[in-house]
Amino acid sequence: MKHVLITGATSGIGKDLAYVCLQHGYMPILTGRNQEKLIDTQRILQNELGKNPPIFHLDLLHTKQIKESIDNILSYYEVDVLINNAGYGKFSPLSECSVEHLQGMFQVNMIGLSLVTQTVLPKMVERKCGHIINIASLAGKMATANASIYAASKHAVLGFTNALRLELHKENILVTSVNLGPVATSFFQTADASGQYEQRMQKYMLNSKVVATRIVSLIGKKKRELNLPYWMGIGARCYQLCPVLVERILGRYMYLK
């Protein structure tokens, strides 16, 4: 049975990833910063699926604890698949973005993700087998107003993922990025406490369970990236080719945050 290490497994996509992994015969290893929520997730999975996946505390905001936490997991389990799902966002104009939120977004979205990957990787290289799936964002390809730091952190994740894929191409280790548009989760309670963005984007919101199912379907497949929803992925690709034209056409949609 493959073991799938999931960061940010206390709610939203991470919680659904755990559920779908169990449905597909994988054993998820659940990590998160909130121990009580991890226990709740474990209890729900036990009640609904009769499985009791392991849980480990992992707080990506504390750099010094990351390697220690991952090494502890590796002392018990082989990690066949790593899904770097944990994310942090705060939407605001740059002039109103606090140092705490700026550092937090880069710490969780990029630095924490990199350190978890760096710690898990040697065992994968040793076995010449593994899959790393990084949950990025279409914001990393097509930035919008009031999300400059969040977009920058996700752009960094995409650069990291693409470079890592090249580094590991001879090691038989797969590396995939999943670039998401808005997903209906509690993420927006922190990202936009006013609720205005979530309300404006309601009809475009992806279902978390559907997203988790698509992500789990990638395991073991040599796929460079997955863009969801598909049409937003096309828009992001067009933006990279013709940014001025796309901004003119989609201008009003780039100011919804």
Catalytic residues: 150
Contact 179, 4 (CB under 8 A): no
Q: Give the residue among 160, 133, 161, 74 at the shortest CA–CA distance from 66.
A: 74
Structure tokens at 186: 């509690």
Place of tokens 């760096």: 118
- Distance, in Å, from the CA atom of 236 to the CA atom of 243, rounded to the nearest integer, reads 9
Contact 177, 158 (CB under 8 A): yes
CA 160, chain centre distance (Å) = 13
- Interstrand relation of 173-180 and 130-135 (parallel, antiparallel or unpaired): parallel
Place of tokens 């929803």: 229
User: Percentage helix, strand, coil, to 5, in the chain?
Assistant: 55, 15, 30
Cite the DSSP H helix spans in 86-207: 99-106, 113-127, 148-167, 187-191, 196-200
Contact 58, 31 (CB under 8 A): yes
